[in-house]
Amino acid sequence: MAVHRTAILVFGYREMTDHLMTTYARQPITFARGEGAWLWDEQDKQYLDAIAGIAVCSLGHSHPAVTDAICRQAGTLLHTSNLYQVRHQQTLADELCKVSGMERVFFSNSGAEANEAAIKIARLYGHKKGVQNPQIIVCEGSFHGRTLATLSATGNRKIQAGFEPLVTGFLRVPYNDLMAIENIAKNSKEVVAILVEPVQGEGGVNVPAPDYLHQLRQICDRQGWLLMLDEIQTGMGRTGQWFAFQHQDILPDVVTLAKALGNGFPIGACLAQGEAAQVFQPGNHGTTFGGNPLATATALAVVKTLTRENLVKQASDMGEYLLTQLRARLGNNPAVANVRGLGMMLGIELDRACGQLVHDARAQGLLINVTADKVIRLLPPLIIDQAQADQIIDTVCQITERFLSQAT
C-alpha cells in the first residue's frame, strides 16, 4: 500500500493520463483558470500566455462578452439541428460576410471539417464542369488538419506516415513558388483549385512574397480554378487584418476559418463567393452539431468584440512592435536565421532544433511554442498590453540568447 502511494506521488502525472490515448506529448502542467493573457496552474503559479491555445483565445481567457454569450445562450437553447432555421447562424453568416466580402457560409465544429467542406466544394465544382478526376494543388510545409482528406492535403510526411492509403487528388508544389504552379497549369487539365495558407502556421510561420496571393488569384482567374485559402490560423484579425488575404486586396473563392472564431468554443466555417458559393445543394453536405445556437451565439460575441475593441488594428500595431523589437534584439545573432511574422503571428527561426525553449520559457512564467523543430512561434492574444508585450520580448530574448550561448 505504501509503495503504491509512493508510485502515485512520483508518477502522479502518468496515473492521471493513463486512460487518455497517447496522442500528445503533453507538457507537465495543468491550468486551472485564466483571465486576459494570464493563466494560473493548479499550484496557482501565474503564466503569461503567448500562444493563446494555438491562436484560439485571441480575446484572452474568460473574456466577459464571451462568457456572457455562452451563459445566456446555454440557459436559452443549446441545439436544434440543421433540420431547422438557426437564427444566430444566419446572423453570424451575415457578420462574417460583411467583414470578409464573401457570400455564403457553412458552419462546422473544427478547422479540419471546414477544410473538408472546401475540398468537397472543389471536387463538386470540378465534376459540374465535366472534370472526371479533379485535382487540388497544395503546398509543401502546409497543415490542413488530421482527418484523412486534410492530412492527405497536408505537406508534412510525419503527419501522413502510417495512415496510407492517402486520399488522392492532391498535387504538391513548394510554398511561395509560382513557376511550379505554372508548370502544372501547362500540363494538367484536371486541376480545379488551389488550397493554401496565406501564412503557413504549423510549417514555421512562413510568410510568402507580398504579391503571392495576388499572383495566385490571377492564375486561378485565367485557369478557371478556385482560390481556396486556409485562414484557420491567420483569420479573425490574427495578422492585423480581419483576414490575411486583405493585405493583398484580393477576394478568394473559398476561405476556411476555425481557431479564433469561437475564442475556445469549438466552431469552424467554410466561406465562399461566386460560383463556389452555389455548388452545394441540399443533401451534398451536412453536420449534426455544426453552427448550433450555442456555438454561433458565442462566435457572434467574438466578432462583435473584435470590432468593438478595435482589436484588428491593435493586432497590426502590437504585432509590428513585437517584430521590430525581436528583430532589433535577436536579428544580429549569427545563430538566428530569421525573425518574421505578420501581425500577431511571429516566428524566430534558429539554426538548430530548439524545443527545449518551450520548457525554459515555462520556467520563466511564459508560454510559447516551437514548430517545424527550429522556429519559436508566438501567437499572443490580440488583447495584450504594452507591459505584456515587453515581458514576452524580454523573456524570449533572454532564454534564446542563453540557449544559443550554452548549446554546442
Ligand X SMILES: *Cc1c(COP(=O)(O)O)cnc(C)c1O
Q: Which positions are annotated as active-site residues?
A: 143, 230, 259
Pick from 52, 59, 66, 232 the residue near ligand X by CB under 6 A. 232
Residue 383, CA distances (Å) to 36, 267, 324 in order: 7, 21, 19
Instruction: Tell how far CA 40 is from the center of its chain.
Output: 24
Does position 143 interact with ligand X (CB under 6 A)? The reply is: yes
Contact 269, 257 (CB under 8 A): yes
Contact 251, 241 (CB under 8 A): no
With respect to ligand X, which residue has the nearer C-beta, 146 or 327?
146
- Point out which span in 226-234, 284-292, 331-339, 394-402 binds ligand X (CB under 6 A): 226-234
Name the minimum Å distance from CB 298 to ligand X: 15
Instruction: Tell how far CA 278 is from the center of its chain.
Output: 26
With respect to ligand X, which residue has the nearer C-beta, 229 or 366?
229
Does position 295 interact with ligand X (CB under 6 A)? The reply is: no
Pick from 49, 116, 230, 360 the residue near ligand X by CB under 6 A. 230
Does position 201 interact with ligand X (CB under 6 A)? The reply is: yes
Does position 144 interact with ligand X (CB under 6 A)? The reply is: yes
Name the minimum Å distance from CB 363 to ligand X: 27
With respect to ligand X, which residue has the nearer C-beta, 205 or 384?
205
Name the minimum Å distance from CB 157 to ligand X: 17
Distance CA 8, CA 55 (A): 34
Does position 145 interact with ligand X (CB under 6 A)? The reply is: yes
Name the minimum Å distance from CB 267 to ligand X: 9
Q: What mask of x and - would describe binding to ligand X in positions 94 to 113, judged by CB under 6 A?
A: ----------------xxx-
Number of residues that bind ligand X (CB under 6 A): 15
Q: Which residues pair with 341 in a beta bridge?
A: 346
AA letter at 370? V
Q: Which residues pair with 256 in a beta bridge?
A: 230, 270
With respect to ligand X, which residue has the nearer C-beta, 191 or 196?
196
Does position 258 interact with ligand X (CB under 6 A)? The reply is: yes
Q: Which residues pair with 31 in a beta bridge?
A: 41
Does position 233 interact with ligand X (CB under 6 A)? The reply is: yes
Dihedral of alpha carbons 211, 222, 154, 285, sign: positive
Coil/strand/helix, residue 265: strand
Residue 52, CA distances (Å) to 191, 250, 315, 383, 384 in order: 37, 28, 14, 11, 11
HEC secondary structure over 270-314: EEECHHHHHCCCCCCCCCCCCCCHHHHHHHHHHHHHHHHCCHHHH
Distance CA 47, CA 54 (A): 15
Pick from 197, 253, 349, 360 the residue near ligand X by CB under 6 A. 197
Name the minimum Å distance from CB 264 to ligand X: 12
Name the minimum Å distance from CB 85 to ligand X: 26
Name the minimum Å distance from CB 203 to ligand X: 9
Residue at shortest CB range from ligand X: 111
DSSP 51: S
Helix (H) or strand (E) holding 39: strand 38-41
Name the minimum Å distance from CB 49 to ligand X: 17
AA letter at 90? Q
With respect to ligand X, which residue has the nearer C-beta, 137 or 336?
137
Distance CA 106, CA 89 (A): 9
With respect to ligand X, which residue has the nearer C-beta, 49 or 231?
231
Site for ligand X in 112-141 (CB under 6 A): 112, 115
- Point out which span in 60-68, 98-106, 229-237, 337-345 binds ligand X (CB under 6 A): 229-237
Identify the CA nearest to 231 among candidates 323, 148, 144. 144
With respect to ligand X, which residue has the nearer C-beta, 111 or 126?
111
With respect to ligand X, which residue has the nearer C-beta, 227 or 393?
227
Contact 47, 362 (CB under 8 A): yes
Binding site for ligand X (CB under 6 A): 110-112, 115, 143-145, 197, 201-202, 230, 232-233, 258-259
